[in-house]
């Protein structure tokens, strides 16, 4: 992850809330953000995928895909899997929007050069950035700190911010909030504060 990316991600989460006239600790719904960013999102049935294909995509193949961002005339649009839980859909969409906000280059698919079939190029850095920004958009640090101070559990955080429990847990553990609170509590204990 690039130096300063995490700070930028926090600022993006706040900037977007401000543009959408939401408070800093407000829940940011993915569909609302899509509307704000003017990104069209749709499910396979909505785009007119035939029944047989739907049978695979939303049946046995449903666990194998989440969402995809495609570009037409340099304009992104997202097709997502509607069979996953609402929280998972929120995370999936945020991940895709994060790629767009980061202006990541689309995944390249390589053809020829001795390869017997098309091969995709997996960009680990871009995926990490999208994971981080997607999660930060859902749970910015200030909102997280305020909620954790109130004693919210990961489940309650997920419920309040409409995200998955693993995402809430990841943000609690990796945003620095957990350590900040632990230090604060240790300081209070040392000084005999309540």
Residues engaged in binding another protein (CB under 8 A): 38, 40, 42, 44, 46-50, 53, 56-57, 60-61, 63-66, 68-75, 77, 79, 106-115, 117-122, 127
Indicate the burial class of 64 (C-beta count within 10 angstroms; 0-12, 13-18, 19 or more): exposed
Nearest to 39 by CA among 106, 84, 99: 99
Closer residue to another protein in complex, CB, 1/68: 68
Residue 75 phi, psi (nearest 5): -110, 125
Closer residue to another protein in complex, CB, 110/186: 110
Closer residue to another protein in complex, CB, 46/86: 46
Shortest reach from residue 144's CB to another protein, in Å: 25
Closer residue to another protein in complex, CB, 91/175: 91
Shortest reach from residue 10's CB to another protein, in Å: 24
Nearest to 100 by CA among 3, 164, 12, 162: 12
Q: Which residue bears the tokens 């401000």?
A: 18
Shortest reach from residue 57's CB to another protein, in Å: 5
Whole-angstrom distance, CA of residue 88 vs CA of residue 13? 19
Closer residue to another protein in complex, CB, 66/160: 66
Indicate the burial class of 175 (C-beta count within 10 angstroms; 0-12, 13-18, 19 or more): buried
Identify the H or E element spanning 80.
strand 75-80
Shortest reach from residue 90's CB to another protein, in Å: 16
Shortest reach from residue 5's CB to another protein, in Å: 19
Whole-angstrom distance, CA of residue 112 vs CA of residue 71? 23
Please answer whether residues 169 and 158 qualify as being in contact, where contact means their C-beta atoms are separated by less than 8 angstroms: no
Closer residue to another protein in complex, CB, 109/189: 109
Shortest reach from residue 37's CB to another protein, in Å: 13
């Amino acid at each position: 992850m690039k130096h300063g990316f995490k700070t930028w991600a926090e600022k993006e989460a706040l900037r977007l809330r401000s543009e959408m006239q939401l408070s800093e600790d407000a829940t940011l719904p993915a569909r609302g953000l899509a509307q704000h960013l003017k990104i069209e999102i749709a499910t396979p049935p909505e785009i007119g995928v035939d029944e047989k294909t739907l049978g695979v995509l939303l049946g046995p193949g449903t666990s194998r895909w989440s969402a995809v961002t495609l570009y037409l005339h340099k304009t992104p649009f997202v097709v997502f899997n509607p069979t996953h839980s609402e929280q998972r859909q929120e995370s999936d969409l945020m991940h895709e929007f994060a790629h767009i906000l980061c202006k990541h280059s689309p995944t390249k698919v390589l053809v020829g050069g001795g390869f017997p079939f098309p091969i995709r190029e997996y960009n680990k850095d871009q995926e990490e950035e999208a994971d981080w920004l997607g999660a930060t958009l859902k749970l910015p640090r200030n909102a997280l700190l305020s909620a954790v101070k109130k004693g919210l559990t990961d489940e309650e955080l997920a419920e309040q911010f409409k995200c998955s429990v693993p995402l809430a847990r990841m943000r609690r553990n990796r945003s620095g909030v957990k350590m900040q609170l632990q230090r604060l509590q240790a300081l209070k204990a040392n000084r005999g504060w309540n």
